[in-house]
Structure 1
Amino acid sequence: MAARVKRDDEAWTGERPSRFALPLLLLAAMLSAALVIYAAGDRALAAGFAATVLALAALLSWHRRLTSAETAEGDTTPDWTIARAAADASGMAIAVTDRAGRLVCASDRFGEWFPGFPAPPNVTADPALLESLGGAARIAWRDGEGRVEGLTQGALRLDVDVCRTGRAEDYLLWRFSPVRQPSALDDVHRLLTGEAGRQMGEAGVMAVMIGGEGRIRAANGAFLLRAAGRIDANITGRDFATHMRVDDKGRLFLAREEAGGLPLRLLQVPLRRMSQPGGAQGGGQDGPMLLLLIDEPAGSGGGGTMSLSYIETLLSLLPFGLAMADRDGRILFLNGAFSRAAGLKRGEKPVYPGDLVIREDQAAVADAVRRFAVGPQMSGDIAVRMRDQPDEPTALSLAGVRGLGEAAVLLSLKDNSEESKLKRQVAQATKMQAIGQLAGGVAHDFNNILTAIIGHCDLMLMRHTPGDSDYDDIQQIKSNSNRAAGLTRQLLAFSRQQTLRPQVLQLPDIVADVSNLLKRLLGESVKLEVSHGRNLGAVRADPGQLEQVIVNLAVNARDAMPGGGTLNIQTYAVPAAKVRELRQEILPAADYTALRVSDTGLGIPPDILSKIFEPFFTTKELGKGTGLGLSTVYGIVKQSGGYIFAESELGRGASFVIYLPVYQGADIEQAAQPKTPIRRSETWGSGTVLLVEDEDMVRAVAERALSRQGYKVLTANDGEQGLEVLAGDEKIDLLISDVVMPNMDGPSMVARARHSHPGLPVLFMSGYAEEQLRKSIDIANVAFLPKPFSVSQLAEAARDALAMGTGVE
């Protein structure tokens, strides 16, 4: 009935024409014509009247259909209440952002994991992860989908999938999926319920996994068939003890096999991991265990030996490290997982468990094995340090076993090589970030000192001419100060806080510019080979910094070839499809231009390869290396948006590969560049300048330098004093301010000053990177001068800032 009402309504409203509408309309036109003929007797008039009725009905129907279509097309606003309900029903952490990066919809789970509902990618404070999420979003807008792995949020480790969606594909859908951590319990559960469990049953081994409370969690088919009578029986959650019985001789049987059953041998494999392994604890079961039951043939005196062969076969299949030792502590058997966890080489078999650990822990391991080999069965953990990883304590589990012939102790060792590798990577990233922050802070303070030294040298040189007794000394001081400024630039490059002047360029041009310098640096014993690929995309980077990268890599390669060799510099294109084939977790799928610098030198040992980018790490002799070369290279590449990888094999040289993303706006930017250079006027100027600087030495030298250029200079110690001067009667033509100051910093002062002086030109000076400051300073039309600077550089920056404010070139 409801459907019928809906169809009638659609017929009347014109949303869906009824099949009866046309016949009814024709009938109505015919009746109208008949009435006209009856009233007027004129057939022509009747025909015209009927045609008019039909035309008006057609126009009315067409108008209604057009109005309905426009209404349907105009109503394109998404119903986010439905989307949110669907997201909550899925139980996943989902967020939707629009073209402007605003969060328009999110699930409750997203709010639980990220309090305050921040808009992706701003869900983390880690700069590296923030950059990765932003890159994934850009890739998704371009290619339709992106992915980031390993996002950490508290105790969670998440993978993030981003895809473009919506009717006009103008939204991004973010899905946050928790990474499933490997678990021995899950591995054993899959083993028992899968093909391996069936094979164990065919070999006569019944296997059961129980929890710490003694209830069954999983069992293979052999145990289900004999304990419950059916291979498809569901006994999960039942007490394991109810399926077993013990006779008056202490022998173990299945409870269902009351008469004629064979006694069973029971082997217990502990699956628990103690949270604080500090010593062996025994006395009973306090965690999940794997129980293996094997028939003991009646009257067989060698059953223990036969059972041991079964157990060895079984242990070789298990995915976690297990070994068996006799009462004297000698190792009888160990599986492949145990060998990998212990760091053993292929074919290596230790005699005693103590051979696996460092000398200080050997006595403790031997004593623990002796205690577990005699007396009642018990299990526990002991903290040891393995021979191949002496700095990382590892939990070694021990359990006493009985009735397996010579075997008396079962040893379990977790294969945590991947986990240890991940911990080292996290520790390394944390250390590099902390050192970077320290280096950036030191360089910032040092730049203030160098600014004062270089500035005073420039002022003194204005009063001396070449040939004066003090001229050469002043030049020497300035030269050494500039060398120190280069050292601070290295620190800032490592911490990714230096000021870059990026340009759109081609890598072959940079290699060509630096080739002549390289030939002089390499000497006659090292041959330089350069090759370039085709169809290389333009990159956006600082050409001077890229030259420094190439020079640093070339000098290191020369030192690695003391007897001579070949240095090869190669550039080539790496399209996104090739990147996907590499399956590199760190390198996002995009178009890159690669630079490879390789040598035929001695190579880099594997234990050193992971440390080469650390600051102040060097293998060179004292006085021949600062340890900042490769760390500077790493910082420049990362700050330019690229990636660098080192590859080496002892005796076969080393290669450093740099991937720089292809700049998509190269054509537009090159077309927008002016054809003729802009002519600049002299640095002499006029007007009133307000100088705000908290460092007395920097403020003094800047004030003298600007006064010598013809400016009237007013000074202030911080932002609050600067606002007081601005509020005075003096007209200010230019504001020069430091960025980081106590009480009130420069950006806060300028933001308030722009309310009363909207057109005031502003010049910021700071020892921090311009790129980082511009991201954090939301103020338009401001210039930037990096420290340390000379008197002439300050004068030029002041002239340009005034020209920008007045619109004069």
Structure 2
Amino acid sequence: MATLAPTRTLSPIQTALLVTIGTGLLAAILVFAVVGSWPFAAGFLGIGLVVGGGVVAWRLLSPAQATERRALDWDFTRVVADTSDDAIAVTDRAGRLVCANDAYEALFPGSPTPPGLPLDGEGVAALTQAGRVAWRDGLGRADRLLANGVRVSALVTRAGDEADMLVWRFVVAVEQDLAQMVEALIAGKDGDRFGAAGIMAAVVGPDGRVRAANRVLAARALGRAEDSIAGRDFARFLITDSRGLLRFEREGLDGSPLRLIQVPFVEGDGAPMLVALIDEEEDAAPAIGASATQHVRTLVALMPFGMALVDRDGRFLQMNDAFMRAAGVNAAAPPLYPGDLVVREDKGAVADAIRRFAGGATHSADMAVRLKDHPDEPVALTIAGARGLGDASVLLSLKDNSEESRLKREVAQATKMQAVGQLAGGVAHDFNNILTAIIGHCDLMMMRHSPGDSDYDDIQQIRSNSNRAAALTRQLLAFSRQQTLRPQVLQLPDVVSEVSNLLKRLMGETVRLDVSHGRNLGPVRADPGQLEQVIVNLAVNARDAIVQANGPSGGTLTIQTRSISADDVRAMASDILPVGDYTALIVSDTGAGIPADVLPKIFEPFFTTKELGKGTGLGLSTVYGIVKQSGGWIFADSRPGQGATFSIYLPIHAAPAAPQPKPLSSRAPTRPADLWGTGTVLLVEDEEMVRAVAERALTRQGYTVKAAEHGEAALEMLAAMDKPDLLISDVVMPTMDGPTMVRQVRLRYPDLPVLFMSGYAEEQLRRSIDIDNVAFLPKPFSVQQLAEATRAVLLQQGTGGSANS
């Protein structure tokens, strides 16, 4: 170890001599100033020097004192430390490990330096705090640490000549070894010796389940000594008679009465208990304790569900562990009355109910109460009268239904979202019919006007606004998971790269875009256009949050892609995300975050925290619908003031990338140069305004159009005419829908080409339409799109001869 060079300082004798001379000179000057005589001042100075010289001579003749620090023999210290079974380590003021015994190396392989030890949970933080306390007060302690599966306690002591060392002592918890030793004894030959002496013994955990038992207890409880009762509820093996005598449930009321003895051999909330059963005489006193009340209290303590006893004055007599956990009771300061557990509004009702049952009511009642710890979630409190139990007069039962409440909320939310989704899909369908008519009439009017006319710009504005409304309906369909998707096998980084340039323009100059991609990302199957919309929606929301929180200083928007394995999902311990391999898209920002009361509502449709006119409330609901329709999962995590993070998990597509099938929609990738054609088209549409637009549009393209208002009319018209070249039909119509009508038409004309048009999603219709050789045109559509779809279907069916080219 390096040693610093000593600094040149004056010795105490030199310091005393200098002080004496200086003091004498100062005194001589003062005497001359007062008396005015130099001889008198010189004599005073001589006397001072003589006295100072005597002091210095005395210090020189006194024994020298050692001032150097005594060196430590660390080899000797290690030998002494090895005589202890405890793990011991010594660190210096700089936090360096200077000594450790063999027990320390065995407990912590590699001899790491405390407090940075391999401890589970919050062990490192607790050990660090103990070290700080030791430096300050001389002694620090950290209990219940878990090191490599071993429970230990740490004692930290400040030591050394200059108190510049810390001694870390780690003691293996005796309780853990003792509990395991007792379980081994009970389940082994020693347990058989207990049985030979008439003692049935078991080790029961804090949950009331048997950890180990001797064979005689298993034989009495189950009928066979070879059967194991480990893991079973101990209280279920016992019953009581009218006198409070305890018996085995298998033996019934004719069995021998038992005396139960509890031995809490280990301290702690989660410590097990040794339970012994001994046969009693029939005329003996109640089995457990001196009264039936004590017997009931013991059974209550063993129950795995929450129970409590209350006396006639409404005070608690006993609460078992399950009751305290469900009620959130602090064992160090238990409540006095049941009303202390609930909110103020429920105190009176609970007190009245307990008073009524304590006064003689025999039935039981369930009450919905709200606990102080979580007032937003009502819990069920069961109250029953208890007679013949001594001081106890009321029995309370409290069920820990937090998980059940969470599931109920999720089911209610899912039901509400499904209902709103169905409504949104219906509204979008009707709205698409209206938009089809508006856009179609605009197209027809624009055919009669040229750019520069006075009405042309107005018509173009109407058409533009109609297209914006059509985008809104697509958002509704996305939320209700009824939109038309074109899934492809793709890589998420490619999608992010495609949209990055757009995001940089959207973010502006104050928001920095940070994109990073993980390795070994698996492919996913999704619609790239819809995924781009997901990224844009999340990015715009993040930008608004950053600007709102930070103003001109801006912030950072981070987009990451990561590979999530099945092991990672298991480590998450999520109740929602199924175990599997995923590719994750994570979008986070440095904005203001999402308040806790708003976070559960962000995916609901039309819910927005933006100012009026600055948000429709469909952005995140659209994101949610796209992700779910793509088979993925999305989670939002946020803390106020720390930004928000949206994590999207898309399952990895394991199948090889297949060639993309030809889309059902008849929109060709390249538009034909000439859309004119000839032939007969049977048009079936129940909406008069859509039917009128489609009829006029097809007639202008050269087709002969026969229009019908519903399926029955189309069948009657078809029976009185020659075979048409094409059947164009709406899907959803009253009395007879489009698919039913097409099935009947195909019986007569099996090869008749069919073009379906609908405001619903193509995938949704495909699942309900089992008809081959049909094309699909989604609403709203323009006149040109209708012409393109018509010609494409006719060419695909080989009837191009009837369409002039």
Same fold (TM over 0.5): yes
Counterpart of 1:295 in structure 2 is 289
Q: Is residue 683–residue 796 contact of structure 1 (8 Å, CA) maintained in 2?
A: yes
Q: Is residue 637–residue 658 contact of structure 1 (8 Å, CA) maintained in 2?
A: yes
Partner SS state of residue 757, structure 2: strand
Distance 1:227 1:331, change over 3 A: closer
| Aligned-partner Cα distance in 2 for 1:615–1:351 | 47
Note the C-alpha offset of 1:380: 1.9
- One-letter amino acid of the counterpart of residue 494, structure 1: F
Counterpart of 1:473 in structure 2 is 458
| Aligned-partner Cα distance in 2 for 1:797–1:583 | 50
The gaps in structure 2 that reach 5 residues or longer are: 1-203, 218-233, 260-277
Match of 2:471 among 476, 486, 496: 486
Counterpart of 2:508 in structure 1 is 523
Match of 2:519 among 494, 509, 534: 534
Partner SS state of residue 635, structure 2: strand
Is 1:366 the counterpart of 2:382? The answer is no
| Aligned-partner Cα distance in 2 for 1:241–1:450 | 85
Is 1:796 the counterpart of 2:782? The answer is no
Q: Is residue 321–residue 341 contact of structure 1 (8 Å, CA) maintained in 2?
A: yes
Partner SS state of residue 768, structure 1: coil
Partner SS state of residue 467, structure 1: coil
Is 1:747 the counterpart of 2:739? The answer is yes
1:777-806 CA-partner distances (Å, limit 9, x unpaired): 111111101111111111111111111111
Counterpart of 2:633 in structure 1 is 643
> Counterparts in 2 of 1:161-180, with a 5 A limit?
none
Counterpart of 2:200 in structure 1 is none
Note the C-alpha offset of 1:218: 4.3
Partner SS state of residue 668, structure 1: coil
Note the C-alpha offset of 1:492: 0.8
- One-letter amino acid of the counterpart of residue 435, structure 2: L
| Aligned-partner Cα distance in 2 for 1:344–1:455 | 69
Q: Is residue 377–residue 402 contact of structure 2 (8 Å, CA) maintained in 1?
A: no
| Aligned-partner Cα distance in 2 for 1:364–1:221 | 34
Identical amino acids, percent of aligned pairs: 63
Note the C-alpha offset of 1:684: 2.1
Match of 1:437 among 418, 422, 427: 422
Is 1:698 the counterpart of 2:680? The answer is no
| Aligned-partner Cα distance in 1 for 2:331–2:785 | 65
| Aligned-partner Cα distance in 2 for 1:692–1:731 | 15
| Aligned-partner Cα distance in 1 for 2:661–2:441 | 42
Note the C-alpha offset of 1:449: 0.9
- One-letter amino acid of the counterpart of residue 776, structure 2: F
Counterpart of 2:50 in structure 1 is none
Note the C-alpha offset of 1:324: 3.9
Counterpart of 1:383 in structure 2 is 367
Distance 1:602 1:735, change over 3 A: same
Partner SS state of residue 294, structure 1: coil
Counterpart of 1:166 in structure 2 is none
Note the C-alpha offset of 1:408: 4.8
| Aligned-partner Cα distance in 2 for 1:490–1:799 | 29
- One-letter amino acid of the counterpart of residue 567, structure 1: L
Is 1:634 the counterpart of 2:634? The answer is no
Is 1:427 the counterpart of 2:412? The answer is yes
Larger Rg: 2
- One-letter amino acid of the counterpart of residue 508, structure 2: G
> Counterparts in 2 of 1:207-226, with a 5 A limit?
218-220=236-238
Q: Is residue 383–residue 394 contact of structure 2 (8 Å, CA) maintained in 1?
A: no
1:579-621 CA-partner distances (Å, limit 9, x unpaired): 4555545444444322111223333344433332222223334
> Counterparts in 2 of 1:507-522, with a 5 A limit?
507-522=492-507
| Aligned-partner Cα distance in 1 for 2:249–2:376 | 48
Q: Is residue 379–residue 400 contact of structure 1 (8 Å, CA) maintained in 2?
A: no
| Aligned-partner Cα distance in 1 for 2:582–2:562 | 9
Distance 1:669 1:433, change over 3 A: same
Distance 1:709 1:641, change over 3 A: same
- One-letter amino acid of the counterpart of residue 352, structure 1: Y
Note the C-alpha offset of 1:717: 0.9
Note the C-alpha offset of 1:472: 2.3
> Counterparts in 2 of 1:101-120, with a 5 A limit?
none
Counterpart of 2:707 in structure 1 is 715
Corresponding pairs, count:
551
- One-letter amino acid of the counterpart of residue 728, structure 2: I
| Aligned-partner Cα distance in 1 for 2:434–2:606 | 23
> Counterparts in 2 of 1:398-417, with a 5 A limit?
398-400=384-386, 408-417=393-402
- The two structures have a TM-score, normalised by structure 1, of 0.61
Counterpart of 2:528 in structure 1 is 543
- One-letter amino acid of the counterpart of residue 492, structure 1: L
Partner SS state of residue 512, structure 1: helix
Match of 1:735 among 697, 708, 727: 727
Match of 1:598 among 588, 591, 600: 588
Note the C-alpha offset of 1:399: 3.3
Q: Is residue 379–residue 398 contact of structure 2 (8 Å, CA) maintained in 1?
A: no
Q: Is residue 761–residue 804 contact of structure 1 (8 Å, CA) maintained in 2?
A: no
Q: Is residue 424–residue 476 contact of structure 2 (8 Å, CA) maintained in 1?
A: yes
| Aligned-partner Cα distance in 2 for 1:329–1:614 | 46
Partner SS state of residue 659, structure 2: helix
- One-letter amino acid of the counterpart of residue 290, structure 2: E
Is 1:454 the counterpart of 2:448? The answer is no
Is 1:768 the counterpart of 2:760? The answer is yes
RMSD: 4.0
Partner SS state of residue 489, structure 1: helix
Distance 1:601 1:398, change over 3 A: farther
Is 1:394 the counterpart of 2:361? The answer is no
Distance 1:630 1:220, change over 3 A: same
Note the C-alpha offset of 1:568: 1.0
Distance 1:232 1:660, change over 3 A: closer
| Aligned-partner Cα distance in 2 for 1:600–1:339 | 40
Partner SS state of residue 645, structure 1: strand
The gaps in structure 1 that reach 5 residues or longer are: 1-187, 202-215, 245-253, 265-292, 298-302
| Aligned-partner Cα distance in 2 for 1:772–1:473 | 36
1:605-647 CA-partner distances (Å, limit 9, x unpaired): 4443333222222333443332211111111111122222223
Distance 1:222 1:690, change over 3 A: closer
Match of 2:482 among 472, 497, 501: 497
Distance 1:642 1:321, change over 3 A: same
1:385-426 CA-partner distances (Å, limit 9, x unpaired): 314355746243243466665x55332211111111222222
| Aligned-partner Cα distance in 2 for 1:344–1:618 | 39
